[in-house]
């Protein structure tokens, strides 16, 4: 399921590949040290967002070949209306980018296509910044975090949740110069407001272990940690928890007429539960037809049956879903339907690359 465009000449493709885009991953690693102050409960939510700091142009340096030049030759090959939920796993939502190991399908590529390229993504001209919610933000600067350069560019507002105290402190360091546009929340997301038990990696953990905490460790993860003696790197702690509705209320986004634009969750096996909570909350808060345009969740630990069911449910709601490494990315069809009026409704993808 895709809309195909093949307008680039060989010379244009070469020029596009050589053009540096400021939203790409940092060319040098970001070194993070523990914050010396803040990060405590009194700093759970920052002050009001400063919209004057949102600069769309700062993150939207485009290649020489713009989408406006390509729009006339877009052709619709398939539509989401013809897709039955049981066939959701066959959905293809992005065109490969030459010499890119991720084939142009990472969240950062998608956000650049649907935000930076006027008039493809309507939010770009909606008179407000893009709004992003991330659950399980970790330190914020991991190599697999596709939000950090986008948020640091000042083109979006973000609410980022991280429940593990010592990791949260590092998260505050990552975004210490962006408090006007990024709010950090030292809590987990769950079905209830209050406190919950959490399996947290301790400060002795290293490698991938600091990214593996959760309300419940997945069975395979628990088995591997037990076998390799890694459980000593985890402690069962109590953390504060918020429902999605409560999080939006604290961010003052519940007064909006539309839901956030991007939702990202990495909850080590709890992702499917959180995705369903968020979808239900969006319908309750913003109306039964409301949708978050772009959503991403980690599929690795949720089990094949739960994953397929979630894909099918997302397809039934109008989303096109694709796998990118250990994540699944869901893009709602209205992203294109609203942006390019002549594309038939329920269309899924425009195969754009930068």
Render pLDDT for 135-172 as a digit per residue (tens, 0 to 9). Answer: 999 889 877 787 887 788 777 889 999 999 999 999 99
CA-CA distances (angstroms) from residue 207 to 142, 159, 330, 331? Answer: 11, 26, 28, 31
Q: Is residue 57 part of a domain?
A: no
The torsion of the CA quartet 76, 81, 84, 90, rounded to 10 degrees, works out to 20
Residues contacting residue 126 through CB under 8 Å, at least 6 positions apart: none
- Please report the pLDDT score of residue 210 as a whole number: 63
- Please report the pLDDT score of residue 303 as a whole number: 83
CA-CA distances (angstroms) from residue 19 to 176, 225, 307? Answer: 30, 43, 37
Question: Cis before residue 119, ω within 30 degrees of 0?
Answer: yes
- Please report the pLDDT score of residue 353 as a whole number: 31
Distance of CA 133 to the CA centre of its chain: 7
Decide if 336 contacts 343 (C-beta within 8 A): yes
Three-state secondary structure call for residue 327: strand
Decide if 78 contacts 1 (C-beta within 8 A): yes
- Please report the pLDDT score of residue 90 as a whole number: 29
Sign of the CA dihedral with 342 first, then 58, 123, and 78 last: positive
pTM over 0.75: no
- Please report the pLDDT score of residue 336 as a whole number: 52
- Please report the pLDDT score of residue 183 as a whole number: 93
Q: Is residue 77 part of a domain?
A: yes
- Please report the pLDDT score of residue 27 as a whole number: 26
Low-confidence ranges of the chain (pLDDT < 50): 1-99, 117-121, 123-125, 339-354
CATH number at residue 129: 3.40.50.150
Q: Is residue 59 part of a domain?
A: no
- Please report the pLDDT score of residue 339 as a whole number: 44
Decide if 262 contacts 131 (C-beta within 8 A): yes
Q: Is residue 278 part of a domain?
A: yes
Q: Is residue 273 part of a domain?
A: yes
Rounded to whole angstroms, the Cα distance separating 157 from 204 reads 33
pLDDT in tens, 194-216: 999 887 777 776 666 666 766 77
Q: Is residue 205 part of a domain?
A: no
Q: Rounded to a whole number, what is the distance in angstroms from the first to the last CA of the chain?
A: 20
Q: Is residue 128 part of a domain?
A: yes
Q: Is residue 157 part of a domain?
A: yes
Residues contacting residue 266 through CB under 8 Å, at least 6 positions apart: 135, 136, 138, 211, 297, 298, 327
Range of the domain at 290: 3-8+66-191+242-339
CA-CA distances (angstroms) from residue 244 to 13, 231, 257, 265? Answer: 42, 30, 16, 12
Number of domains within the chain: 1
């Amino acid at each position: 399921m895709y809309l195909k465009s093949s307008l680039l000449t060989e010379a244009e493709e070469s020029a596009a590949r050589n053009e540096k885009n400021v939203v790409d991953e940092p060319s040098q690693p970001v070194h993070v040290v523990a914050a010396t102050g803040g990060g405590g409960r009194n700093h759970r939510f920052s002050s009001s967002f400063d919209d004057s700091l949102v600069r769309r142009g700062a993150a939207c340096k485009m290649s020489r070949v713009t989408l406006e030049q390509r729009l006339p030759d877009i052709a619709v090959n398939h539509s989401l209306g013809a897709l039955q939920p049981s066939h959701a796993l066959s959905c293809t939502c992005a065109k490969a980018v030459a010499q890119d190991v991720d084939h142009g399908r990472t969240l950062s590529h998608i956000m650049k296509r649907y935000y930076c390229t006027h008039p493809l993504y309507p939010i770009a001209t909606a008179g407000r910044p893009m709004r992003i919610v991330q659950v399980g933000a970790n330190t914020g600067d991991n190599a697999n975090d596709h939000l950090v350069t986008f948020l640091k560019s000042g083109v979006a507002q973000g609410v980022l949740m991280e429940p593990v105290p010592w990791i949260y402190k590092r998260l505050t360091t990552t975004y210490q110069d962006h408090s006007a546009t990024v709010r950090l929340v030292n809590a987990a997301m769950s079905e209830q407001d209050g406190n919950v038990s959490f399996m947290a990696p301790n400060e002795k953990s290293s490698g991938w272990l600091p990214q593996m905490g959760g309300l419940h460790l997945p069975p395979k993860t628990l088995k591997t940690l037990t076998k390799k003696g890694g459980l000593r790197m985890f402690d069962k702690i109590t953390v504060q928890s918020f429902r999605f509705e409560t999080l939006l209320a604290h961010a003052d986004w519940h007064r909006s007429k539309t839901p956030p634009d991007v939702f990202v969750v990495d909850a080590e096996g709890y992702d499917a539960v959180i995705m369903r909570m968020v979808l239900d909350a969006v319908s309750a808060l913003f109306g039964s037809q409301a949708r978050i345009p772009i959503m991403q969740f980690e599929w690795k630990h949720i089990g094949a049956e739960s994953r397929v069911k979630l894909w099918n449910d997302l397809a039934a709601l109008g989303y096109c879903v694709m796998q990118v490494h250990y994540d699944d990315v869901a893009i709602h069809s209205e992203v294109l339907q609203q942006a390019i009026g002549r594309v038939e409704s329920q269309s899924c993808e425009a195969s754009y690359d930068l």
